[in-house]
Structure 1
Amino acid sequence: MRNLAIIPARSGSKGLKDKNIKLLNGKPLLAYTIEAAVKSSMFDEIMVSTDSRDYANIARTCGASVPFLRSNELSTDTASSWDVVKEVIEGYKNLGSEFDTVALLQPTSPLRTSNNIFEGYKVMKEKSANFVVGVCEMDHSPLWANTLPEDLSMENFIRPDIVGIPRQNISTYYRINGAIYIVRIDHLLKSNDIYNNKSFALVINKENSIDIDDQMDFDFAELLLKIRTQNIKLNTDL
């Protein structure tokens, strides 16, 4: 199979200014995803989809390709990631390059590893999957969550069927972590709902599932990366 990695890196982030190129432990945020994609050895092409020439130059310096910029129509904060993916697929087709699978790797998941990517493709092969999605265990069960009325009353907040049940006896819930989406291109282009028909989860640990949305997420990711780097150095010294 010919595999394409797409790393979406729109400029103009509102929540955290220039988030996708913000320096995280001395490297642009998107560099971590590019490096993981390269190290996985799973891709024939690693492409950063961006609307910014400055971002494109940074991406190329980090080892990715940017043969064309994202269209203005898909450079807004309301644009669908899958529309961006389809635009890239069509762009490469116009350049004479076609692929069998595409992996959407968001740069806001810098702790996702090359092994996570490799394992995603392993799931795709073993399950003959059309779609593989990264998930992680939720920190807290949604069964303990509810909406609140205006007066903040807690009456009927807890579902009666879980009252008194030990936490460890409650079913484990997972959430999509945004770190990895791998899909067969023919499935993506012909399906109205790519989650149906041979779609499987790739369970990733919570540490590798950090998704940067704001400054607190950024600071937490930076701390975890520092700890990871120190542990690697310690093991090397030993």
Structure 2
Amino acid sequence: MKNLAIIPARSGSKGLKDKNIKMLNEKPLLAYSIEAAKESGLFDEIMVSTDSEKYAEVAKQWGAKVPFLRSQELSNDTASSWEVVKDVIERYRSLGIEFDTVALLQPTSPLRSSEDIINGYEVMREKIANFVVAVCEMDHSPLWANTLPVDLSMGNFIRPEVVTMPRQSIPTYYRINGALYIIKVDYLMKTTDIYSEKSYAIIMNKENSIDIDDQIDFTIAEVLIKN
């Protein structure tokens, strides 16, 4: 099988300026995803999808390919990651290059390891899956969460059955962590719901699942990497 890794790194981050190339422990953020992809040994091509010549140069310095820049239409806040992935696939096809699978590696997950990627592909092989997505255990159960009325009343905030539930009986909840998505190209290009058919989870630990959105996340990642 021919495997493609796509690292989406558009410029213009509003929460943290130039987040995707911001230096994290002496490396630009996107370099961590490039290195993890390379270390996995699974990919025929590792590319960075960006709208920025500056970002493209950084990506190339760390060993990724940038065969084309992303269009402005797909570089705004409303464009989805899967629209970007499909566009990359079509543009490779126009060059006569086909792939069997695509791994989407968000650069905002710098602690995702090559082992996590390998484990994801193992799940795909063992389950004969169309789609594999990384999840991690939630820090707090959503059973202890609710919306609040205007007057901030806590009446009926927690369902009665949860209040009396022994802690060990509370089920474990997971969330998609954004670190790893692996999908078969044919399946992606034909389906309207990637979770609908033969889709499976890979469970990652909390430390590897950190997703950088703001400066606090960035600082936490830096501490974890240094220690």
- TM norm structure 1: 0.95
Q: Which amino acid aligns with 1:108?
A: T
Q: Secondary structure at the match of 2:92?
A: helix
* Shift, 1:168, TM fit: 2.1
Identical aligned residues as a percent: 73
Q: Distance in 2 between matches of 1:168 and 1:65?
A: 48
Q: Distance in 2 between matches of 1:167 and 1:196?
A: 32
RMSD (Å) for aligned C-alpha atoms: 0.5
1:130-209 aligned at under 5 Å gives the runs 130-209=130-209
Q: Distance in 2 between matches of 1:95 and 1:166?
A: 59
Q: Give a deviation string over 1:157-191, Cα, whole Å, max 9, x none.
A: 01111112222210000000000000000000000
Q: Distance in 2 between matches of 1:92 and 1:192?
A: 21
1:1-238 aligned at under 5 Å gives the runs 1-227=1-227
Q: Give a deviation string over 1:178-237, Cα, whole Å, max 9, x none.
A: 00000000000000101011000000000000000000000000000001xxxxxxxxxx
Q: Distance in 2 between matches of 1:5 and 1:36?
A: 10
Runs of 5+ consecutive residues of structure 2 not aligned to the other structure: none
Q: 1:234 matched to which residue of 2?
A: none
Q: Which amino acid aligns with 2:215?
A: Q
Q: Distance in 2 between matches of 1:203 and 1:124?
A: 13
Q: Distance in 2 between matches of 1:120 and 1:196?
A: 18
Q: Which amino acid aligns with 2:133?
A: V
Q: Which amino acid aligns with 2:39?
A: K
Structure 1 stretches of 4+ moved >2 Å: none
Q: Distance in 2 between matches of 1:38 and 1:78?
A: 30
Runs of 5+ consecutive residues of structure 1 not aligned to the other structure: 228-238
* Shift, 1:78, TM fit: 1.4
* Shift, 1:66, TM fit: 0.1
* Shift, 1:139, TM fit: 0.3
- TM norm structure 2: 0.99
* Shift, 1:12, TM fit: 0.4
